[in-house]
Amino acid sequence: MSGFFKSSIGRKVAMALSAFFLMFFLIIHLAVNITSVFSEDVFNELSHFMGTNPAVQFALQPVLIFGVVFHFVMGFVLELKNRKALGVSYAKNNGAANSTWMSRNMIYSGLVILAFLVLHFIDFWIPEINVKYIKGDMSGMHGGEYRYFHEIVAKFESPTRVVAYVVSFILLALHLLHGFTSAFQSMGSTAGRKKALQKFGKIYSFIIPLGFIIVAVYHHFNHH
- Which parts of 162-191 interact with other proteins (CB under 8 A)? 178, 181-182, 184-190
Q: For 66, phi and psi rounded to 5 degrees? A: -60, -45
Q: Decide: is 78 part of the binding site for other proteins (CB under 8 A).
A: yes
Rounded-to-integer distance, Cα 13 and Cα 4, Å: 9
Candidates 92, 135, 195, 224; binder of other proteins (CB under 8 A) is 92
Q: Decide: is 90 part of the binding site for other proteins (CB under 8 A).
A: yes
**Total number of residues that touch other proteins (CB under 8 A):** 43
Of the candidate spans 37-45, 96-104, 205-213, 216-224, the one that interacts with other proteins by CB under 8 A turns out to be 96-104
Candidates 54, 98, 135, 195; binder of other proteins (CB under 8 A) is 98
Nearer to other proteins, 85 or 118 (CB): 85
Q: Decide: is 195 part of the binding site for other proteins (CB under 8 A).
A: no
Contact 218, 209 (CB under 8 A): no
Alpha-carbon radius of gyration of the chain: 20
Report DSSP letters for 156-199, one per residue: TT-HHHHHHHHHHHHHHHHHHHHHHHHHHHHTT-SGGGSHHHHH
